[in-house]
Structure 1
Amino acid sequence: MWQWCGRLKMDVIHLTQQLIQFPSITPLESGCLDFIETLLKEKGFTCRRLPFGEVDNLYARFGTSGLNFCFAGHVDVVSDIDASQWTYPPFAATIHDGVLYGRGAVDMKGAVAAFLAAAIPFIQTPFTGSISLLLTTDEEGPAINGTRKVLEWLKENQELIDVCLVGEPTNPLKVGEMVKIGRRGSLSFEIVVHGIAGHVAYPQLAQNPIPILIDYLREITKTPLDQGTTEFSPSNLEITSLDVGNTTSNIIPAKATARANIRFNTLQSELGLVQKLEEIAARYPLKIDILKCPSSEAFISKNPELIHVVNSAVKDVCGVEPLLSTTGGTSDARFIKDFCPVIEFGLVNATAHHIDEHIAVSELETLVAVYQKILENYFNASST
């Protein structure tokens, strides 16, 4: 049985600082992937850079046989917003009173550093199997040329991943509280009501789309979509914008638009939701178009072995039973779930995307310990 050797350590704090100092705002890698690739090659990983369009990606693997455990994540970050409002420069990676400040500290360069700090010492002790990392610079953006394209490349090249852990920040207040075993689906769409423009003094010669849009929005929001499931909260529709593009007060506009998003559970599907929206639209006297954006389906992990491996590691290291949850937004796990069993566990999400994004250095160290224990649990179980 493989056992973790506590003497083999990497400095996750310094690693996180180094990664933060690369200003890799989507879709730029800004040298961050170069740094990681160089480090992994030095440790014996086989690395493949996989650029698609303007997006750069990295797939690295140690080992050529046995079960392949993959850490997946992203090194791109959202904008620093107004850097002048930050207590410390967003890419300076400043530590103050035991807290590390910087864009990406939580989402998710801290977890990527923890991947490295757990995996590199692990491979220095004999084990049977492979460890891989899948890193993209397109998670915070359109998510078209990142993880999705890498998975297509892996499939075409018969590169198998047996299980995957995504390091998105999953915990509300403290590392160990929550493991994500699934995600709600997300459907963003635009509603366009087509009328006939005209002078407000002659409404009989025009068709005003605005009242129709208001009535339609009222109808699609008045009735709950469902009551939720054991694993998921009820599906929810939110109107996010209204626009007619009219700068005058004496013209009836030709069209009115709204944007909305539905976060939905496994009782719904993209196809079914769009059909419902279109069926309601067909009842109105003016033409209503439903224009959907790229979406993702709801999913839940059905792999009890992987859930047990992660859950028991969190419990052993943190001393608490984590909540198995499907809350929150979307992540690249929505693509990976069609490729192999996937689960998510990372840092505290309270300051993700915020000004002064930060994480306690002790939480980074805890996350490394959990990742170490996950690897130990997984490869011990596979060897029995």
Structure 2
Amino acid sequence: MKNTPTDPVPLLQDLIRCKSVTPAEGGALTYLENLLSTHGFVCQRLIFREEGTPDVENMFARFGTGSPHLCFAGHTDVVPEGIAEGWTYPPFAADISNGYIYGRGATDMKGSVAAFAGAAIDFVRSAAKFKGSLSFLITGDEEGPAINGTVKVLEWMKANGHIPDHCIVGEPSCVDRLGDTIKIGRRGSLSFAVTVEGRQGHAAYPHKADNPIPKLARFIDRIATATLDEGNEHFDPSTLAVTSFDVGNPAGNVIPSRAAAKFNIRFSTEHGFESLKAWVADEVAAITAQLGGTWAISATEGADAFITEPGSFVGLVQDAVELETGVLPKLSTSGGTSDARFVKDYCPVLEFGPTNATIHQTDERIAIDELRDTQAVYARIIAHYFSAEL
């Protein structure tokens, strides 16, 4: 007798009702552990800590021991609900209305977790003797500092022989409808803080002061109008955004002694951290040669740019999405950062999940039909993966 497909709706409702605001576990990992272990997954709860950061609970679950090994990576932690009174339905009640499930994490990303869990359970029930392994890497630290989550779980997986051959991250990748976008890479992120020291003085006697503002303004104008690159086959041109310009001066008749600015560069694979640091240093040197000043530069590395080149794995997922949704997905590298930036150091990785219109918003929600269709896409990906030669 054929097994009845698992319905992801109650799974998602149960997960939403776990108030797992980062870094709190909130019962979400316990729920998943109980669910997956019931169906033969061997689950490991992993708690990591680092001085000055909160302890974080994570989970790794695996069915099977052989290859090929497909891993689903995701997170059960969510951002705070904001002003709860602004929600149409309580943010952790998982109410259903007009075909939608409302709640914090409905799309980012408990919906994907529920959908993949349902698909994985159905697969191992119907193909218990399949060749290979299916696993889950679930963190409670994606919306937080991302220090005690996926990074350290991957280190543990490597030390214990659990590195997968391929990985799908369940971030909500689609824009207008399910199936329109697969993310096969991400731009890099590098932030800078620049300070120029001068000499304070009276505005009526500017020749007796050393005003740092024109120096910094010239620098900011120079970098803000620069063309970093023209982009490439998979990436749009790199961008630079100035996020702060501050002199800390409330007085209108005083020339300040210091001016500071911050900016962020989102870059393609045309660049790396070191090349961009060198470019900024060269730009500072050019302004210093013109206008002088004492400059200080600091850089904070966010994530490096990466790409999973289209090939058999990307093609398999793309085909599965099109067969289930009728949409040929665009291969994209847009958006901010995700935990895929850590996974890419271990195996090929891509991101696919539902539409992202309401992520982090009041009244975050997912259509029930979309949730079930997401599970159907994941089910087809799993079935094709373990029947294909990648």
* TM-score for both structures, normalised by structure 1: 0.94
3-state DSSP of counterpart to 1:381: coil
Structure 1 197/38 Cα, relative in aligned 2: closer, same or farther at 3 Å? farther
Contact 2:273–2:301 (Cα < 8 Å) also in 1: no
SS in 1 for 2:56: coil
Structure 2 residue identity aligned to 1:9: P
How far off its partner does 1:161 sit? 0.9
Code of the residue aligned with 1:114 in structure 2: it is A
Alpha-carbon deviations, 1:214-243, whole Å to 9, x = none? 111100011211111121111010111222
Query: Which residue number in structure 1 is paired with residue 361 of structure 2?
Result: 354
Q: Is 1:21 the equivalent of 2:17?
A: yes
Unmatched segments (≥5 aa) in structure 1? none
Q: CA deviation at 1:136?
A: 0.9
Partners of 1:303 and 1:341 within 8 A in 2: no
Among 158, 169, 173, the residue aligned to 2:176: 173
Q: Does 1:132 align with 2:139?
A: no
Q: Which residue of 2 aligns with 1:206?
A: 209
Cα distance in 1 for partners of 2:122, 2:93 equals 27
Distance (Å, rounded) in 1 between the aligned partners of 2:257 and 2:68:
59
What amino acid is aligned across from residue 225 of structure 1 in structure 2?
A: L
Partner of 1:7: 3
Large movers: runs of 4+ above 6 Å: none
Give the corresponding residue for 1:91: 92
CA contact (8 A) 1:209 1:253 kept: yes
Kindly indicate whether the alpha-carbon contact (under 8 Å) linking 1:270 and 1:295 is maintained by their aligned counterparts in 2.
no
Contact 1:194 1:288 in 2 (8 A): yes
Q: Residues of 2 paired with 1:321 and 1:307: CA distance?
A: 12
SS in 2 for 1:168: coil
For 1:151 and 1:197, locate their aligned partners in 2 and report how far apart those are by CA, in whole Å: 51
Please give the secondary structure, in 2, of the residue aligned with 1:295: strand
Q: Which runs of structure 2 are paired with 1:1-384 in the superposition (5 Å)?
A: 7-53=3-49, 54-124=55-125, 125-126=127-128, 127-283=130-286, 284=288, 285-302=292-309, 304-382=311-389
**In structure 1, what residue type is equivalent to 2:81?**
D
Q: Which amino acid aligns with 2:341?
A: R
Percent identical pairs in the alignment equals 50
Aligned CA RMSD, in angstroms, stands at: 1.7
In 2, Cα distance between the equivalents of 1:133 and 1:164? 9
Residue pair 2:187, 2:333 contacting (<8 A) in 1 also: yes
- Cα distance in 1 for residues equivalent to 2:46 and 2:198: 47
TM-superposed CA distance for 1:210, in Å, is 2.0
Spell out, residue by residue over 1:11-55, the C-alpha distance to the aligned partner (whole angstroms, 9 max, x if none): 211111111112212222111111111222222211122222222
CA change 1:47–1:254 in 2 (3 A) is: farther
Look up the equivalent residue of 2:266 and give its one-letter code: R
Which whole-Å CA distance do the structure 1 matches of 2:305 and 2:266 have between them?
9
Report the count of equivalent residues.
Answer: 379
Distance 1:48 1:112 in 2: 17
Q: Judging changes above 3 Å, is the alpha-carbon distance between structure 1 residues 326 and 176 closer, same or farther for their aligned structure 2 residues?
A: same
Alpha carbons of 1:258 and 1:250: their partners in 2 closer, same or farther (altered >3 Å)? same
